[in-house]
Amino acid sequence: MASAWLLSACATSAAGAAKIPDAELPIIETGVAMLPNARGPFAWLDSHTLAITTFAGDPQATNSWTSQQVVAFDTRSRQRRTIVPRGRLTCTNPPAGVVSAAVGDTRAYFRGSEFGPAPVTQWFKWDGASSRLVPWPDRAHPDWNDVACRQMLPEDARKPIPGSIDHPRIYLQPGEGFITWQRAFGDEPRPLQLRLGEQSIDLAATSGEITPNVRHLPFAGAHLLNVGGFRWSEAHGAEQKAAVLLRPGGRIDRMPFPPALQALFAERHLSSGAVMLPVSAW
């Protein structure tokens, strides 16, 4: 199966902005105000619904950013609705339909107890048909981490950073295990391993090629360990970084930055940077 890739690039030269041929994507204005002083978390709930932490009151009022709510924006209908009247988003897991949010008056975080107790983290399941969050009792899933929205080993479920200093763990989707490695002095890149129950699979990648935010790509049947990138400068010339994907069974694929675009940047001597993300399959 082939994949479509989203390329986000910025290019400049001594002569000013350079025109790069591309297929432009439509820009969708959500109309949802972003928090200026405390960046509000946002994340996808499903393939067309974005959850956004925003103002719960008048954005122009003094300290208005301390009062927060979570809204869901539907990219198809361009409609928005409030899904957490008071609180802020923590994380989501779209394939599992899982959402974690801090529910309560967020002003208590910033302005003291006059606004009552601090918000409490709660679990929800996203119901796309009715566009609402359904409570998911905590006792039903003690092995889920409410900071990462991932199912984990019991000893990691209540940790903000899973694993240990010497053996970090990055969890995949439920039933797909976790990736780990043994840290070396000076954080030198080390070989990665995939742990599936009692099974350990050596991966053809290192700790220098993985980010904490591993993305599940349901359309590709893979996990994106790291995005692709490209940079060109007068001092160093062309430098490209392949995107790294983990396939079922532990196979690692590297998707290089398109050679045609590399040549275009280098030919025009552009000081540029670009990031490449997979967005769909055909």
Q: What is the DSSP string of 27-75?
A: P----PPPPSSSPPPEEESSSSEEEEEEESS-TTSTTGGGSEEEEEEET
Question: By CB neighbour count within 10 A (0-12 exposed, 13-18 middle, 19+ buried), where does 181 fall?
Answer: buried
In a domain? residue 47: yes
Q: Give me the pLDDT at residue 6, please.
A: 57
Classify residue 282: in a domain, yes or no: no
Any domain includes 60 = yes
Instruction: Give me the pLDDT at residue 7, please.
Output: 54
Residues paired with 151 in a beta bridge:
144
What span, in angstroms and rounded, lies between the C-alpha atoms of 266 and 24? 22
Instruction: Tell me which residue range forms the domain holding 124.
Output: 26-149
Cβ partners under 8 Å of residue 57, min gap 6: 64, 67
pLDDT of 54 reads: 92
Residue with tokens 């979570």: 70
Q: Is residue 270 part of a domain?
A: no
pLDDT score for 260: 76
**Residue 98 lies inside a defined structural domain of this protein:** yes
- Give the neighbor-by-neighbor strand order of the sheet with 49-55: 42-44, 49-55, 68-74, 80-84
Which DSSP helix (H) or strand (E) runs through 255?
A: strand 252-255
Query: CA end-to-end span of the chain, whole Å?
Result: 7
Q: State whether residue 150 is helix, strand or coil.
A: strand
Q: Which pLDDT score, from 0 to 100, does residue 102 have?
A: 95
- CA distances to 30, 114, 134, 234 from 49, rounded to whole Å, are 11, 35, 16, 42
pLDDT of residue 18: 46
pTM for this entry: 0.78
The structural domain count of the chain equals: 1
The counts of H helices and E strands in the chain are 2, 23
Strand 98-103 and strand 120-127: the pairing is antiparallel
**What is the sign of the dihedral through the CA atoms of 28, 29, 33 and 34?**
positive
Q: What was the pLDDT predicted at 275?
A: 72
Which residues does the chain have with pLDDT short of 50? Answer: 1-3, 11-20, 282
pLDDT at 49: 92
Asked, for residue 251, whether it belongs to a domain, the answer is: no
Secondary structure (DSSP) of 210-248: --SS-EEETTTTEEEEE-EEEEEETTTEEEEE-EEEEPG
Instruction: Look at residue 51 and tell me if it is in a domain.
Output: yes
Asked, for residue 274, whether it belongs to a domain, the answer is no
